[in-house]
Structure 1
Amino acid sequence: MVATGTMLIAYLKHICGMFSIASFRIKKAMAINMQHDVNEEKMIIIYKGIICAIDIHRKATEFSQVFIKSFEGSFFCFIAASMVCLTSTLVQIITYNSTEQLVLQLIHISVLYIYVFLSNYTAQDITDHNEYVFATVYNVEWYVAPLHIQKMMLFLLQKGTKAFHLILGGIFVASMESAAMLISTSISYFTFLYSTSMK
């Protein structure tokens, strides 16, 4: 579980790095534009920088979609299994009288909560890095660039209006809000099971 989770986080961090490189390339290309003596050679460098940034951004989004699609069934099973494990472990904690068993179950539930938190945090990090790319496009002084570059930048700004999220298992948008929802849902199921078993 730890090895698989670590490998998945490494891949997702790689995607974050690709988004950061795209942001850096846009900043660097537009910094050339701020110089007063922009000739045709520098315009070609600006074009190449922006095109390279767009290409890296496209590859990062495609890689993340292919990555998530490859593990779609696994993620769906993992979400369902983690909900069942969290709920049943919470029910078991109430029924145990032994301190050793209680500590073991608390460690088990803590590991599950950390796993849910880390996976959703990493997915939220990807969403934030993607939004940072478009914040970078918005914050550079694209409006003083030549008309052809302005059109390219407006295309990027328009693309940034569409939200980008990782959807796990085809139904679950991975984010910090979703992690909180999973945790509160497991507690709600536990309360329901506990209240029905007490009757």
Structure 2
Amino acid sequence: MICIRTQHFNLNRILLLAVGLWPYQKSKFVRFQGILFFGILSSFIIFQLTALIKKDCTSEFVIKVFSITMIFNIYAIKYNMFWINTHNLRNLLEQLQYICNELKDENEIAILIKYGNNTKRYTAIFTLLTICLTLSTVILLIWPLIFGTVLHINESQVITMLTEYVVDREKYFYLILLHVNIVICIGSTTITATGLMILGCIIHICGLFKIASYRMEQAMTTKMLQNINLENQTTICKKIFYAVEIHRKTMKFTNLLFSSFEGSFFLLIAFLVTSLSLNMFGIFHNASLGDMESVLLHLIIVLIMLLYMFVANYAGQEVINYSNHIYSTAYNVRWYEAPLNVQKMILFILQRSRKNFHIKIAGLFIISLECFATLIKASMSYFTFMYSTQ
């Protein structure tokens, strides 16, 4: 028997434990850790928004503040999304484990192991990428400080491009820098851990769809159809039933997964599109001023958001493709040589699979590559409007 949590989601478990979001082993320390981390993320957002009250607000200043604040709002939303849905996440993992426990065929188990290994591989790759991007951002923040001792650069330039604290920057410089770096580390770990957990579930969903297609193929093999008797007919019906059953359970699991986080996903889409537009504006605006450090910072943010949006929508596209593969498998088998009652069962599968099964958020967004293009187009439209009114 395969233990999903320890064999396929072990690295995901470590990442979620690091930020206090693993749904198991909820001790008092973990609860305190969750409150502390969410408080740190929220404090950064509050400090930035407070600057809008304390200082004179020009359009450029407002855009600068919100281009950064939106990113940390996304961190807070992702953290809160998993924190309040701890019970739902635990139930989802248990349901996935229950579905996997029902697999008895060695080939089906091999398919599941293959997709479990894909989960571990992608988790490791994106974790390393996050570490590199986080280190790059931290180095970018302290870069002027490193050379400031030689070139006598004002130390407050280190955080000017990223933060708008209302306190005296010269006096509390090192505390502010520490706070910013802690927020970046917590936020990047949070968005990586939560995103990879959902991505891992989607990879397993694709694996279960693959098993459904495999069962359909095995039910209608040439050997079975060459000798149609009562025993073979019963065997074919059972195999088709098992294929339909795992297909139904997989769709149910998928709908439950995304319905648990539907409201948070809708907020994430809105914040991602807005933040992408603001940071693209920040790139062009700071480039015109010759502030290359700020340009590089906004560019890193834009690249991270584009990568995040692409991976999320590509995963949704894969769910559509794997679901459609069941339809093509049922259509291409030699159903015309099967008994009439078996043909009726296959017709039922064809009718059910004829409609694309997709991941839909708030009834508006179908997660797919087409959705990714639509979101990019919307972001570009908002950016063009802001840049034209500059």
| Structure 2 length-normalised TM | 0.49
Q: What stretches of structure 1 of length at least 5 have no aligned partner?
A: none
Larger CA deviation: 174-183 vs 28-37 = 28-37
Structure 1 contact 74–169 (Cα < 8 Å) conserved = no
Higher relative contact order (CA 8 A, sep 6+): 1
Structure 1 contact 19–60 (Cα < 8 Å) conserved = yes
Between structure 1 and structure 2, the one with the greater Rg is 2
- Structure-1 residue corresponding to 2:256: 66
Matches within 5 A, 1:1-199: 1-31=191-221, 34-96=224-286, 97-197=290-390
Aligned-residue identity in percent: 42
Q: CA RMSD in A?
A: 1.2
Partner Cα distance (1:34, 1:51) in 2: 16
Return the offset for 1:33. 5.8
Return the offset for 1:40. 2.1
Superposed structure 1 runs of 4+ greater than 3 Å apart = 32-35
Return the offset for 1:34. 4.5
Structure 1 contact 32–46 (Cα < 8 Å) conserved = no
Larger CA deviation: 71-80 vs 97-106 = 97-106
Q: What stretches of structure 2 of length at least 5 have no aligned partner?
A: 1-190
The secondary structure found in structure 1 opposite 2:358 is coil
| Structure 1 length-normalised TM | 0.95
Larger CA deviation: 165-174 vs 146-155 = 165-174
Partner Cα distance (1:136, 1:176) in 2: 23
Partner Cα distance (1:162, 1:169) in 2: 19
The secondary structure found in structure 2 opposite 1:69 is helix
Return the offset for 1:68. 1.1
Partner Cα distance (2:362, 2:304) in 1: 21
Structure 2 contact 283–295 (Cα < 8 Å) conserved = yes
